[in-house]
Structure 1
Amino acid sequence: MELLELIRGLASRLTEEGLAKAIDHTMLRPGATPEDLERACREAAERGFAACYVSPWFVRRASELLKGSGVKVGSVVSFPHGNSPIDVKVREASLLIEMGAD
């Protein structure tokens, strides 16, 4: 099967809901406000996205806002460059999970 035919076949079966469940919404701007967070979480919940990724300092609030919506809360570790030692990354990830990240 030609690649283009395969893509067309998949696209013809894709629903809006199915596509939404494959999307991770992000709100990682350094200057983001609590209002930006609330808007991003609302959009993710209304559209049925798989997850909403937020900066670490917003994880706890995002977890509260998205509770029961089916949208997972994600965040970033050693962002944006990934230059932290592995033990620091592990601790960051552990803290994010404690704060409500999925």
Structure 2
Amino acid sequence: MVDTSNPLSLARHLDLTAAEAHFTTADIERACAQAKTLQAAALCVPGVWVTLARSRLEESAVKVCALISFPHGLMTADVKRYEIEAALDEGAQEFEVMAHHALLREKEPKAFLRELRDLVEAAEEHPLKVCVRPELLASEDILRVANWCVEAEAQCLCLAPEVLGTWNVVEEVRRLNAVFSGSLFLKVALPTPQRGLVNDLLAAGVMRVGVKFDPAGL
């Protein structure tokens, strides 16, 4: 159980994400500084910023996570693999891949598994997080994706809603954790920061919570 009253313990379960299209070099450097100050688990950035992030975080415990096929997951499998290989060469230590939701909604398990296994192989045993938009999927579809992640040996399923709405993310995490605890770790990437919800998610069993970097919030 995470001690959410301890800021350091809480921070080690946070992924800070800096992925806005308008971010500049200075913004990414500020994101790196904030991630180090927080002692976050990881800083998630698009491939173009991996080299800079790795150089700024090299002497810290913060991992550099490359965002692959963001934000919609509509790159081909070959392009996703190339993105992973390029980011790996530039120093990425984790990868977060947006899923191809058409394959999920059309229930194409063979195609999805083939792509996922290829990406796991490309990551060379570095953690691979499979990211889905849960508001686009039924609960049974999310469960099916989690099973496929385990089968393909991906380490993490990331639920990344664009809006929370009426969807009960804490209950979904509890349901998934009851089935997959010990075989798959869970992450929830929040569209907006909510301290109370972060605490509830960690209590429900997530290993990482994603929060967006806000330069104006510094």
Relative to the length of structure 2, the TM-score reads: 0.41
| CA offset digits 1:74-98 (Å, max 9, x no partner) | 1211111111111211111111111
Alignment of 1:30-41 (within 5 A): 30-41=21-32
| CA offset digits 1:49-86 (Å, max 9, x no partner) | 00001121110010000001110001211111111111
Aligned partners of 1:26, 1:78: CA distance in 2, in Å? 15
Confirm whether residue 85 of structure 1 aligns to residue 76 of structure 2.
yes
Structure 1 counterpart of 2:64: 73
Aligned partners of 1:45, 1:71: CA distance in 2, in Å? 7
Residue of 57, 60, 71 corresponding to 2:51 = 60
In the alignment, structure 1 segments of 5+ residues that lack a partner are: 1-9
Aligned partners of 1:99, 1:64: CA distance in 2, in Å? 10
Secondary structure of 1:74's partner? strand
Contact 2:46 2:68 in 1 (8 A): no
Secondary structure of 1:35's partner? helix
Aligned partners of 2:92, 2:80: CA distance in 1, in Å? 15
Structure ranking higher in helix proportion? 1
Aligned partners of 1:24, 1:53: CA distance in 2, in Å? 7
Residue of 15, 26, 30 corresponding to 2:17 = 26
Q: Bigger CA drift: 61-70 or 82-91?
A: 82-91
Aligned partners of 2:76, 2:19: CA distance in 1, in Å? 22
Aligned partners of 1:77, 1:62: CA distance in 2, in Å? 16
Structure 2 counterpart of 1:95: 86
Once the two structures are TM-superposed, the CA of residue 18 in structure 1 deviates from its matched residue by: 0.8
Aligned partners of 2:80, 2:30: CA distance in 1, in Å? 28
Q: Alignment identity in percent? A: 35
In the alignment, structure 2 segments of 5+ residues that lack a partner are: 94-218
Aligned partners of 1:43, 1:78: CA distance in 2, in Å? 25
Secondary structure of 1:75's partner? strand
Moved over 3 A (4+): none
